[in-house]
Amino acid sequence: MRNLYLNTNELDKRCSDEFGLSEAILMENAASAIELEVRKLTKGVRVLAVCGSGNNGADAICALRKLAGDYECYALLVSKTQGVMSKYQLSVAKKVGVNLIEDFDGDLDKLGEFECIIDGIFGSGLKRQMSDEICALIDMLNAKNALKIAVDIPSGINQFGQINQNAFKADTTLTMGGLKLGLFLDEAKDFVGKIKVANLGVSRDKFERGSDVKLLEKSDLKLPFRNKANTNKGEFGHTFVMVGDMSGAAQIAGLSASAIGSGLVSLVSDKEIANLSPILMYKSSLNSAKVVIAGCGLGDKKLNLDELTDKICVIDADLCYKKEVIKLLANNENLVITPHPKEFASLLNLTNIENVSVSDVQKNRFELAKIWSQKFKNVLVLKGANTIIAQNGKLYVMSEGSPTLAKGGSGDVLAGVIAGLLAQGYSPLEAAISGTLAHGFAGAKFSKNSYALTPFDLIEEIKCL
């Protein structure tokens, strides 16, 4: 896991107070990271840095100074005033042949073509509306066929990851010192490109401090490998799936639980299930059940949720719209709930935590997930391009989501995978973490194209992790 920070101001201050690294040294190191990225990806091309008045712009100007001579470097200044560090970097950059563009008339085409564009207009501290001129400039930069590198965070994205107007669309974001939380809001995902952390002069171990928000990594995926030869199916748990109006969803969830290793899987219904897979068993009640999935394909069917109070549960889909689920959430801590944004908006409204729309959820995912997790002790899995797992005020971000997974039935697969891990003895948090990672990596492994993945393809990929 990696630490995520709303901002790294306190960490930067430690570099000065504890390690004696001046602002100038930190800037040199930041600029060296930008320089290295440009050199790795291009050779001897025309480079344009678009610079605001703050330290992001100064970082970009400093990087141009390091590239000048080997590259044809231009600095486009978008602010009439410059900060102290920007003024200093400009004075040095001029001496080594960096070309300054100070009287920009708004026509980017007049400047010719650039093979690399560095965005240093705004940082994560953006709080005000951008001018129409800056918005137009960002649109023009985005339209250019060039390698695009953002310094710290793409301009137009604030520290919370919100985009209130438009934003620079980077191929790579070089974030300074530590990973910023705002880079992982769903809204920002199409703008940040590949995220890399620039070392500012001290190791990650020395630079960082603990955080209640973590970014999940591949090493956090713990698959239920079987290392014991003398064993049987009963040792790997039994997953029960409550069947709703659409039994296909329950079957997908059940097959997914089996694919991740659940020893037995049963579908529970008050009537026979048509075309039941031979892998799955039919049960008429939850007698003997310990792990239960409820909500997948529920529709209008009524469930007796009192039966679930003492079960280990995964709650999904249509149950997120039912008032009865609130009592279950309050009384059962051994529970994972897996809403998508619309379902989460419903849950927030039902519980009187917030009166929100889906748009509100998407703009405030981290804050709302944290508030929810402080009210309910069970585990929240808020699905999205960057899925958020929350428990007891701590957040875990799974950034492996892809558009491949945007297909009906994908959520049923996730519910089944999490339940299958629960059946094998994982804690709710462990099952949520490994389940979402397995789901994300399985979607990424599908190599045919970005649109054709079905839930059954996803299950096959999960089997091969």
3-state helix, strand, coil in the chain (%, to 5): 40, 20, 40
User: In Å, what is the CA distance from 166 to each residue of 80, 135, 221, 359?
Assistant: 22, 6, 35, 16
- What are the DSSP calls for 324-335, one per residue? HHHHHHHH-SSE
**192: Cβ contacts below 8 Å, ≥ 6 apart:** 150, 153, 154, 157, 170, 173, 183
Q: Is 126 annotated as a binding residue?
A: yes
Hey, is 199 helix, strand or coil? coil
Q: Which residue has the tokens 């101001």?
A: 9
User: Half-sphere exposure (CA, 13 Å, Cβ side) for 315?
Assistant: 29
**The tokens of 457 are what?**
């393809």
First to last CA, the chain: 20
Angle at 9 between CA 25 and CA 204, to 5 degrees: 65
Q: Is 57 annotated as a binding residue?
A: yes
Q: Is 59 annotated as a binding residue?
A: yes
H helices of 144-281, in order, are: 189-192, 204-207, 247-259
Q: Is 297 annotated as a binding residue?
A: no
Closest of 450, 399, 404, 444 to residue 173, by C-alpha: 399
- How many Å apart are CA 419 and CA 277, to the nearest integer? 18
Closest of 183, 182, 108 to residue 139, by C-alpha: 108
Q: Is 123 annotated as a binding residue?
A: yes
Q: Is 155 annotated as a binding residue?
A: yes
Contact 58, 30 (CB under 8 A): no
360 C-beta neighbours (distance < 10 Å), count: 15
**The tokens of 242 are what?**
């409550």
Q: Is 124 annotated as a binding residue?
A: yes
Contact 382, 365 (CB under 8 A): yes
The neighbouring-strand residues paired with 314 are 293, 336
Contact 293, 318 (CB under 8 A): no
Q: Is 127 annotated as a binding residue?
A: yes
Hey, is 366 helix, strand or coil? helix
Hey, is 279 helix, strand or coil? coil
> Strand 99-101's sheet: what is its strand order?
99-101, 72-77, 46-51, 116-120, 147-151, 172-176, 194-198
**Dihedral, CA of residue 240, residue 244, residue 246 and residue 248, to nearest 10:** 0
- The binding site for K(+) comprises 56, 119, 155
- The binding site comprises 55-59, 119, 123-129, 152, 155
- The binding site for (6S)-NADPHX comprises 55-59, 123-129, 152
